[in-house]
Amino acid sequence: MQKAANQILVVDDDPAINAILTLILEDQGYFVTSALSIQEAKHHVLMNKFAIALLDLGLPPNEHTPEQGFNLLNWIRNNQSHCHIIVLTGQTDTAYEAIKLGAFDYLSKPIDEADIIKSIQRANLFYQQNQKMKQAGLHALRLQTELGDGVKHIRNQAEEQIIRQLLQDYDFNVHEVARKLGLKRENIYYLIKKYNLERQCHHDDT
Amino acid sequence: MMTLEPNPSWFFLLTLIGLVILLVFIYLRQQSYQLSRAISGLYKLNKDEQQDVLSFINQAWLYLARSGLVGFSAHIDWFGTTQTFKFGKQTDYFDIKHLQGNEISIECCFYTPKKLKGEKHYFTELLKNTFLQLLDHNIQTKINQIFTTQLGLQKAQLFNQHDLKNLIQFIQLLEGQVAKTHSPMQTERLIASLKRSLPSIKQRAERLLIKSATQAPVTQPIQLNTLLDQLTKPLFIPYRLTGDANINTDSAKLGEALYNIIANFRDHNATHSPLQMTISQTDQLIKIRFEQAADSIKTQQLKSHAIRLFEPFWTDSPSGMGLGLYMARQTLKQQGGDLLFIPANDHIIFEARLLALAPSQTYFSESGLDLSSTTSPSITPASVSADA
């Protein structure tokens, strides 16, 4: 896997938009990988690390509804939690759901090039600072919970996220994750089982 | 013990009773025959008027009058416009029924000469109920038609908006890029990018134009291999194209029909397997076979829905209008051809059939060429393959 810094994944089923976005971002000095479908996007996510993903919500087979885009957004969040996802879409009334699922920014088509670049720069800044924090041993978590569910539920969510993040960061090296958290390997295996965490293989198309 | 002696007056009485029973029987038989004819008449009228609510009400009196009714009126609120129909005469004995559905409201009033009793009451009620049930059914049909059309239009509008937004977005971003291009290297990169992206933009714009405008057909000679290649390339799906044939027809219409078939494979069969398109020709019949590997669940689904695949507005996808295959088949049929789904276990197969007409002939054909005949394909050597 390559380092994520300056790596951007552009997901748009429209080849023309995809190509022009790639051109714009490459001009800004980013390394761009483009995907025209969900399958392609998942394949790239499993093969490379990305700092930012620029994601269109309307993707085949249902390019006129946002569901496929939401599913992919959620999937990327689960598989590359450090990746900042910017939604760039022509779908209306989708901002709430996109932000709820963890989108970093929400851009509505049609939008100026300058606004896209600003958003990308902001996301890159956040990515870089997050990486610095990680190097300093600090991990930022994003929790979304119903307060009525109680503290235990929030604790479990935090636990799941931190384990998930570390497993991704250390390429599912349980020994390293255990060392980092000061736990025994058995504890990590227990948590993997508890939260049903699985390593995604690059041939997985689901 | 008392014994009954035969008496001539008894014989007369029994004969009288028998006669009365016979007369009642004849009367009831006549009445039920009349009722049956009136009910059949209502059904036939409804069918002839294609379940149109207003026409049905306007002509139903002819049949309603055959029961004990002497008058009928209907006060109709039809999408905000009111109208009253009156037939026969109005009396002090009436029965009012209300029918309501969405923006349609109908108040029916049935008049009788007096308060009906016995068999007259039952026969009249039966006819009234049949009439009201047919009317209610027609109202529901009308509402469903409107609902389906509205849904279809909303979807079409949404799809067009989506296409337009992408077009505007592309132009907006391109404008910025063109303004910034100064060095030859930048120009070269921009042109390389445009070469890749313009075919799909052109295709999108053409689709929008075809959707929004009715154009006069332009008949021209078309090389099918080239047309299919042009249609498939911008979709960025792996495909293989073998064989070739020439046809003289409206290229925009044929292109739209073939695009719908190919796009259907892209949108509804998530696979990395290439789409195999084979063109073959025997005499005047051209066949284009579209074939792609698919998992057994998908092929089973298609088999079970085979009868509905070409039904307008039927779709199992929230993003589709359910018109692609229907319109593709209609277009091909207009050109004397057809589109068939061929069930298979591990492949999805559609076959487009076209008539190869001489340039002097018109492209519309009601011809009697047997399109159902199966012939061995004679594939020409031309072959194109692409794995995008």
The tens digit of pLDDT for each residue in B214-260 reads 555 667 888 999 999 988 887 778 899 999 999 988 888 888 889 88
B196 interaction partners in chain A (CB closer than 8 Å): 15, 19
Residue B2 lies in a domain: no
Amino acid symbol at A182: G
Question: Mutating which of B166, B208, B267 best tests the A interface, going by the most A Cβ atoms within 10 A?
Answer: B166
Instruction: Please check whether residue B189 touches A, CB under 8 A.
Output: yes
**DSSP category for residue A62:** S
Assign domain A147-194 one CATH number from 1.10.10, 2.60.40, 2.70.70, 1.10.3470. 1.10.10
Instruction: Please check whether residue B158 touches A, CB under 8 A.
Output: yes
The verdict on a CB contact (< 8 Å) between A65 and B270 is no
Residue B221 lies in a domain: yes
Which pair of structure tokens corresponds to residue B190? 């921009």
Q: What does the DSSP assignment read for A7-32?
A: EEEEE-S-HHHHHHHHHHHHHTT-EE
Residue B173 lies in a domain: no
Q: Domain-by-domain residue ranges, chain A?
A: 7-135, 147-194
Q: What does the DSSP assignment read for B293-311?
A: E--HHHHHHHHHTGGGTTS
Task: Say what percent of chain A tops pLDDT 90.
Answer: 45
Which pair of structure tokens corresponds to residue A202? 């690059």
Number of domains present in the structure of chain B: 2
Evaluate if residue A201 carries a pLDDT over 60. yes
Place of tokens 């068939």: B340
* Same domain assignment for residues B252 and B374: yes
DSSP bridge partners of B241: B277, B384
CB atoms under 10 Å from CB of B149, counted, come to: 11
Q: Which phi and psi (to 5°) does residue A185 adopt?
A: -60, -35
Residue B4 lies in a domain: no
A16-32 per-position pLDDT tens digit: 899 999 999 998 999 99
Whether residue A17 contacts residue B169, with contact meaning beta carbons closer than 8 Å, is answered with yes
Evaluate if residue A5 carries a pLDDT over 80. no
A185 CB-near residues (< 8 Å, 6+ apart)? A174, A175, A178
Instruction: Please check whether residue A109 touches B, CB under 8 A.
Output: yes
Q: From the CA atom positions of chain A, what is the Rg in Å?
A: 17
Instruction: Give the domain-ending residue among B109, B127, B146.
Output: B146
CA–CA separation, A197 and A163 (whole Å)? 9
CA–CA separation, B74 and B55 (whole Å)? 12
* Same domain assignment for residues B228 and B364: yes
Whether residue B271 contacts residue B292, with contact meaning beta carbons closer than 8 Å, is answered with yes
Instruction: Give the pLDDT of residue A115.
Output: 94
The verdict on a CB contact (< 8 Å) between A15 and B200 is yes
Instruction: Give the pLDDT of residue B129.
Output: 92
Give the mean model confidence (pLDDT) for residues A163-190.
88
Q: What does the DSSP assignment read for B225-276?
A: HHHHHHHHGGGT--EEEE---EEEEEHHHHHHHHHHHHHHHHHH---SSPEE
B225 CB-near residues (< 8 Å, 6+ apart)? B241, B243, B244, B245, B279, B382, B384
**What ipTM goes with this model?**
0.76
Shortest Cα–Cα distance, A93 to chain B (Å): 13
- How long a stretch of residues is chain B? 388
Whether residue B282 contacts residue B290, with contact meaning beta carbons closer than 8 Å, is answered with no
* CB within 8 Å of chain A, chain B residues 262-301: 266-268, 270, 272
Domain containing residue B361: CATH number: 3.30.565.10
DSSP helix/strand/coil, A141: coil
Instruction: Please check whether residue B324 touches A, CB under 8 A.
Output: no
Instruction: Give the pLDDT of residue A206.
Output: 36
* Same domain assignment for residues B133 and B37: yes
**DSSP category for residue B49:** T
Instruction: Give the pLDDT of residue B371.
Output: 39
Q: Class assignment of domain A7-135? A: alpha beta
B174 CB-near residues (< 8 Å, 6+ apart)? A20, B194
> CB-CB: which of B155, B196, B317 is closest to A15?
B196
The verdict on a CB contact (< 8 Å) between B272 and A61 is no
Instruction: Give the pLDDT of residue B359.
Output: 41
Residue numbers of chain B with a pLDDT score lower than 50: 358-388
B165 CB-near residues (< 8 Å, 6+ apart)? A90, A109, A110
Domain that holds residue B327: 216-386
Residue B192 lies in a domain: no
- How many beta-carbon pairs under 8 angstroms link A with B? 93
| Helix, strand, coil % in chain B, rounded to nearest 5 | 50, 20, 30
* Same domain assignment for residues B341 and B227: yes
Residue B334 lies in a domain: yes
Q: Is A152 exposed, middle or buried (0-12, 13-18, 19+ CB in 10 A)?
A: exposed
Instruction: Please check whether residue B180 touches A, CB under 8 A.
Output: yes
Q: Is B322 left (phi over 0), alpha (psi -120 to 50) or beta?
A: left
Residue B130 lies in a domain: yes
Give the mean model confidence (pLDDT) for residues A97-123.
92
Instruction: Give the domain-ending residue among B125, B146, B167.
Output: B146
Instruction: Give the domain-ending residue among B146, B167, B199.
Output: B146
Instruction: Give the pLDDT of residue B216.
Output: 59
* Same domain assignment for residues B232 and B355: yes
Whether residue B280 contacts residue B379, with contact meaning beta carbons closer than 8 Å, is answered with yes
Instruction: Give the pLDDT of residue B214.
Output: 53
Instruction: Please check whether residue A19 touches B, CB under 8 A.
Output: yes
A114-157 per-position pLDDT tens digit: 999 999 999 999 999 999 998 888 888 888 888 888 888 889 98
Whether residue B110 contacts residue B69, with contact meaning beta carbons closer than 8 Å, is answered with yes
The verdict on a CB contact (< 8 Å) between A65 and B318 is yes
Instruction: Please check whether residue A17 touches B, CB under 8 A.
Output: yes
B148-197 per-position pLDDT tens digit: 777 777 777 777 788 888 888 999 898 888 888 888 888 888 888 888 88
Instruction: Please check whether residue A15 touches B, CB under 8 A.
Output: yes
CB atoms under 10 Å from CB of B254, counted, come to: 24
* Same domain assignment for residues B123 and B228: no
* Same domain assignment for residues B115 and B235: no
Residue B58 lies in a domain: yes
* Same domain assignment for residues B259 and B377: yes
What's the mean per-residue pLDDT of chain A?
88
Instruction: Please check whether residue B358 touches A, CB under 8 A.
Output: no
Instruction: Please check whether residue B307 touches A, CB under 8 A.
Output: no
